[in-house]
Chains A and B, each alone.
Chain A
Amino acid sequence: MELIFEKNRKGSPNPYFPKEDPAGSRKAGDVLPKGMLRTEPDDPNKRLALPEMSELEVVRHVLGLCRRQVGIDSTFYPLGSCTMKYNPKINEAVSRWPQFAAMHPLQPDSTAQGTLQVLLELEQGLCHVTGMDAVTLNPMAGAHGEWTGILIIKAYHDSRGDKKRRKILVPTAAHGTNPASAAMCGYEVVAIPGTEDGLVDLKGLEAALGDDVAALMLTNPNTLGLFETDILKIQKMVHDAGGQLYYDGANLNAILGVARPGDMGFDVVHMNLHKTFSTPHGGGGPGAGPVGVKKHLAEFLPVPFVKKTGDRYEMSSDRPKTIGRVGAFYGNSNVYVRAYAYFRTYGRDGLPEVGKHAVLNAAYVLAKLQKTYTRPLKNPCMHEFILQPTKEMLAKGVRTLHLAKRLIDYGYHPPTIYFPLVVNEAMMIEPTETESKATLDQFVVAMEKIAKEALETPELVINAPHSAVVGKVDETKAAKDLDLRFCACE
């Protein structure tokens, strides 16, 4: 589709601002220092390139692009490790009320009692959900939470004069953010191998542990969708070696209301509320990555935080041993309004149903599909599972990428593919609890049809998608002939 810049109508008027200058005003050009006004240089790349068109033309441009885009609202989105559950509309509506959306982050606490109450109660609720003693809402996404959590662990070791711990252990199958976050905190990252069953290799862990290890970062259920059943042993090994145990909350949905990282012995937890608490993914954010810690780490949490004295809420930075600030204000507050609404919707009895039905849906789809596809791991399935193409499909040249793209022709968003990296041709499917049996059954039928096509008409699958607005995309060209912006000179 044409770029918005190509639809430009120079000088198009708009309805937003008065034409007359305010009474008694001086022209901006007279107010600002000479030489500070913007002038457009010859280099077209340095010129101001904003579209000029009517609002209606903008609306049509965007709606035209919406036809080239799918969200959860459009179709089933079984994207493993991303928890693409339904985003309840009431949460959106509430978050857009001006009483929440038009709150300035620096306005006096006395005028923000509602927002502060929401934030504090959400913190308390998240403590219960994770089994932790204190929570900060500062981090703005999962990776930001990881970074914050690792800094807290660093501050803890440093506070005890224990400065020799330079390593963070991360399973080979972990999300890429784990090692990247640890490295951004100045740590050396050591990969821990997994067993054939897809769990942490206790022998490998034992060998890696020592007085130079600051922490082990773990996802549970892990990135293969399996529960680390040795978690109590693991926590003892890590703690005996003086390390801390970090919980990557990417897969918290699997155990929501059923089991808690705090009870497994984790010291630090981050949550991805844009996964587990249904706040929208927004095409790649905003997220929210609150961090929970056990008591011994609470004094290191970032600032600010919400505090309640009597019946008044206030924003405070009085935390002398804090790791400091991790952002300009207090996290993605308006994402938390949505998460709070979600939390209140499900409540005590509803939260465990989320975890249970997330697992039921995954186990159901797996039970049906393992007849048609290869399942590399045999442990009980949690909220997501991995499949591979069968040997016969591979022999016909059909790979996971092709299967995923063929799903697009059937109207679905593909699953996560080639993650985790430790499984060849991985295809990770996570249905979430908000999908009905009817939707899952239709998906299974589509997957079975594709399996059949892979054997009978492999070219059809290999060349997919056929129905999308664009075909296979030349990613190599994108990286080689780098073009990151429109230029008026074109």
Chain B
Amino acid sequence: MLFITFYELRFTQPFDTPFHPESPLMSYIPHTEQERKEMLAVVGAKSLDDLFAHLPKETKCGPLPVPPGLGEMELSAAMLKLAAKNRSAADLACFLGGGAYDHFIPPAVMELISRGELYTAYTPYQPEISQGVLQLIYEYQTMIASLTGCDVANAGLYEGGTALVEAVQMAMRHTGRHARVILDGALHPNYLATVKTGIGALGVEPTIVAPKGYQSDLAALAAKAQEAGEELACVAAGYPNFFGSIEDLGKLAENVHKTGALLVAVGTPFPFGFIKPPGHMGVDIVCGEGQALGVPLQYGGPYVGYIASSKELVRRMPGRLVGKTLDVQGRTCYTLTLQAREQHIRREKATSNICTNTALCAMMAHFYMSCLGIGGLKRAGELAVSKADILRRKLKSLSQTSGGAIKSVPDYPVFHEFVVETRKPAAEVLDALLAKGILGGLDLGRFDAARKNQLLVCVTEKRSLEEIDAYVAAVSGA
């Protein structure tokens, strides 16, 4: 009975606990009884309920069937009990990626993000008192643009899946073509699903090009693009793709451009300090999930979608942009700009409906990239690649000898994430790994039953050689 829900509680606990307005349970409402009386007198109301006298009585509710409030001390205890029911990547060795990555985040990042000036601020619509957030976002835009090898980046979007929806719609607006969109089948299945919802709402059904093994089928994408011709708004390809594969997109970009359409690259930006960024390969829009740049795993959110492009596309960009300008005295300062693209000005003709995005996570990414610097980001990438390569080779040699649970380790170029094929369902292999305290990867059968013997494994710089050996030992016995 330790972990009963509060809905169970309400049947077992007396519900008539008297509530005292002065009780510490209301501590974030600071009014004393005396102040409340004085204020009601100024307003000309007899009671707080009087303030709602003009509402139709049918709309008013009695006490809600929820449990009574808790003081901070009790709340803390209740939350601790809930927390104890989780086993996080802090106490399991995390080889799980698939769009969210367990990287080392310098504690300075959380320390800085805890500044009340930053996290309790609103969107910087008043530049005179928001230069802090505005300059940080301008710097973030610079870092993302340069990391992706693009001219410009925006202030952030919700997360990777919706960032891709925005990128596709941006391409539609730029090309004026709203009929055809081609997606790489090696994109994250949840991103594909999100795009289907997103552009399906506009009556557009994306064409999905099946991967070739675990690699994006770049030739088939180019062929489809040619076939779609002048109806095509864009092609979106993974880099790295969902299976971790990295391939040069330069040729595909040329082919897509021949049709007048745009090429969108989708992927985690973490490797871009180390490998050729999409913007150096002729890609027009680069987007994806920025979580790997210093944002904790947080069970899927909040994250930060990023989007970057060539400067020709900037007026089609969704969301907020911070620009540099001068104040009346000629001092350099920053402000939200090109707001005429946005919903609060343009309403139904806006480039997107997005308003609140994830500025705080963008600032986290800023602090992460600032702390690491070019050297740190390259070193983290280098370690991730080396360690992933160690595990991959060990699993490969395992598959060629005793085998254990591993049937084969397919060869294709990757950064820090790769697929292994298992003898029994990947779900069972993961159970065996979990029993040893290891989050062993992602069972691809979750997305496609035909892939139930495929396991997507990620090794970040954070994994130790001991953890890698424990992984190998666990699968050789499984």
Contacts and interface: CB of A to CB of B under 8 A. Distances in A.
Given A189-B348, A345-B72, A177 B343 contact: yes
Residue in A4, A23, A124 whose Cβ sees the most chain B Cβ within 10 Å: A4
Given A151-B201, A281-B122, A284-B123, A345 B280 contact: no
Contacts of A25: 386-387, 389-390
A296 interface: no
B61 interface: yes
Given A22-B383, A38-B274, A71-B117, 11 more contacts: A48-B273, A70-B129, A100-B299, A115-B299, A263-B59, A330-B301, A345-B28, A349-B68, A468-B129, A470-B333, A485-B142
Given A281-B122, A437-B31, A329 B79 contact: no
Given A106-B100, A143-B356, A345-B72, A115 B348 contact: no
Q: Which 9 A-B pairs have the closest CB atoms?
A: A69-B132, A329-B300, A73-B116, A282-B360, A105-B300, A347-B69, A286-B302, A71-B120, A284-B359
Contact of B465 (A23, A72, A82, A469): A23
22 contacts: A4-B139, A13-B375, A28-B386, A37-B274, A45-B145, A46-B280, A50-B370, A65-B135, A68-B129, A73-B116, A87-B120, A103-B88, A106-B100, A111-B439, A115-B86, A177-B343, A286-B357, A327-B194, A344-B70, A350-B19, A350-B69, A484-B152
B295 to A, nearest CB: 10
Contacts of B413: 32-33, 36
A62 B76 contact: no
How large, as a class, is the contact surface on chain B?
35 or more
B34 to A, nearest CB: 9
How large, as a class, is the contact surface on chain A?
35 or more
A28 B390 contact: no
A133 B42 CA distance: 39
Contacts, number: 700
A106 B442 contact: yes
A37 B274 CA distance: 6
A67 B132 contact: yes
B223 interface: no
B119 A87 contact: yes
A196 interface: no
Interface string A174-185: 011101111111
B410 interface: no
B346 A473 contact: no
A471 B146 contact: no
Contact of A330 (B289, B299, B352, B372): B299
B190 interface: yes
A227 B55 CA distance: 7
Given A100-B86, A105-B297, A335-B301, A86 B28 contact: yes
A477 B356 contact: no
A329 B190 contact: yes
A69 B122 CA distance: 10
A140 B162 contact: yes
Interface string B14-54: 01010101000110111100011011101111001101111
B193 A17 contact: no
Given A37-B276, A105-B299, A16 B360 contact: no
A271 B94 CA distance: 34
Given A31-B389, A58-B367, A143-B343, A68 B131 contact: yes
A57 to B, nearest CB: 9
Contact of A62 (B84, B136, B161, B333): B136
Interface in A6-47: 11-14, 16-18, 21-28, 31-33, 35-39, 41, 45-47
